[in-house]
Amino acid sequence: MTPRRLPAVVGLAVAQLRHDRTRTVLAVLGVTLAVLSTTLLAGTGIGVVQTGQEQFDNAGRDLWITGGPVQFAPTQVGGIQNSVYDAHETTAELQQREGVATVGPLLFQTVYVSRTGDDFQRLAAMGLPSSNGVAVSEGRGFANDSHYADGTYDGPMTHELLIDPRTAELLNVEVGDTIYVGGTLATARANEFEIVGISSTGSQFLGAPTVTLPLSELQEITGKTATDPATIIAITTTDGTSPAQLESRLQEAYPELDVRTNREQLQATLERQAVVLAGGVSLIVLAVLAGLALTLNILFSMVYQQRPEYAALKALGSSTTTIAGTVFTQALIVGLLGTGIGLAATIPLADALNTVAVAVTGFDGVVRLQPRVYALGFGVAVVMSLLSGVLASWRMAHVRPLDALRN
């Protein structure tokens, strides 16, 4: 096709698109949906990884010790089957090792919580031996873990806890109020705790409304005192100690446990979500294929409806190249319009998804848009447009004018 014919080809393509606006809108919508699916899902993947890394970094810990994957156990009190046992003794042993600055066992459970003792809700709970290191935005931390009493669990219970802002809003309570907490309804009715502070630390770990208690007291009200369990043990290293070197020494000393750095713990978490990640990738592929199929279907339909016009042009002497170029230009225009709308809509939709994510999980920035995300969306749209244009042009180029006009 010569440059002199290009304006005529573009003008003809635009005229054809304007002639059947419904099909044009549907074709543009197909490309737009494919672009949005690609950018938003890719942005979510990046955001999940970066948010996870930030959560580990913000925790201020260097190593994480577990006894294997954490299992949900709906039939058990507490709802979670933990894998680290004798947590207090293990913590005391670790604290004596060279290169270890602080050690903190964390126990995650689900508990029944009520303000009045009648209407109970199930919330996440986190147990800590001390509130040191917990960011308290209002009030104070709880006193201590005195109930453990060297493993006898007959020391006095403080009956103090921290709640996060979402729990405060959910229960309509504040510092100084009391709530009922327990692993069973009967235990919850028998244990009234005073709210001594507001802290988001627990919800940052669990992504849900959370109450934070002394470790031994959470073990007591969930019936876990026999095994002294913890979900994970967090360690900070002393100045000048390499986390990687300390990791190897601790792994050798505790072969039955898994010792990981921040990055390794994040990788292990993501590996356990492999099915979810694979599902996200599958959704991207399906969105692209669906967009391509919709665009091709509509373009082929447009070409089929326009066969008499193109056949007449061909019979009057228009070259096959000109006709194919017109069809290809139609696909290109549809692709550019769909790409522009999709990329423009990505930002407000990402903001809306982040707002929902904050409300549901407490994590901000779950969808993160980067230049490579936009490049991916643009690339997908270009490939779709070129492929659909080539296929539609090839089909149009093989139309026989006489047969088309007779039909």
Alpha-carbon dihedral of residues 55, 58, 59, 61, nearest 10 degrees?
110
Higher pLDDT, 347 or 74: 347
Exposed / middle / buried, residue 383 (Cβ in 10 Å: 0-12, 13-18, 19+)? middle
What type of residue sits at position 120? F
Residues 6+ apart with CB under 8 A from 108: 70, 80, 82, 124, 125, 126, 127, 205, 206, 231, 232
At 380 the pLDDT is 78
Which range has the top average pLDDT, 12-16, 373-377, 400-404? 373-377
Closest C-alpha to 138, from 157, 159, 156, 164:
164
Token pair for 152: 């006898």
**What does the mean pLDDT of the chain come to?**
80
- Label residue 205 by pLDDT band (50, 70, 90): confident
Using H for helix, E for strand and C for coil, what is the string for 40-75? HHHHHHHHHHHHHHHHHHHCCCCEEEECCCCEECCC
Least reliable range by pLDDT among 65-69, 279-283, 333-337: 279-283
Percent share of the chain, pLDDT over 70: 74
Contact assessment for residue 317 and residue 32, using Cβ atoms and an 8 Å cutoff: no
Predicted TM-score (pTM) of the model is 0.66
Which range, of 273-277, 367-371, 374-378, averages the lowest pLDDT? Answer: 273-277
pLDDT value, residue 216: 94
Q: Average pLDDT of 44-53?
A: 72
DSSP 164-178: -HHHHHHHT--TT-E
When pLDDT is averaged across residues 215-237 and rounded to a whole number, the result is 91
pLDDT of 290 higher than 80? no
pLDDT tens track for 71-123 = 676 667 777 778 889 999 999 999 898 888 888 898 999 999 999 988 899 99
Q: Would the pLDDT of 193 be above 90?
A: yes
Average pLDDT over residues 20-46: 80
Q: What percent of the chain has pLDDT over 90?
A: 24
C-beta separation of 147 from 158 below 8 A: yes
* C-alpha closest to that of 63 among 226, 251, 273: 251
Chain centre to alpha carbon of residue 256: 31
Lowest mean pLDDT among 41-45, 71-75, 306-310, 314-318: 314-318
Rg of the chain over Cα atoms, rounded to whole angstroms, equals 31
DSSP string, 249-310: HHHHH-TTSEEEEHHHHHHHHHHHTHHHHHHHHHHHHHHHHHHHHHHHHHHHHHHHHTHHHH
Q: Residue 272 pLDDT more than 80?
A: no
Of 19-23, 91-95, 213-217, 262-266, which range is least confident? 262-266
Q: Is the pLDDT at 299 greater than 60, yes or no? A: yes
- For residue 103, the cross-strand partners are 235
Which residues touch 340 (CB under 8 Å, ≥6 apart)?
Answer: none
* Residue with the larger pLDDT of the pair 187 and 17: 187
The residues with which 136 forms a beta bridge, in sequence order, are: 199
Comparing 129-138, 241-250, 283-292, which segment has the lowest mean pLDDT? Answer: 283-292
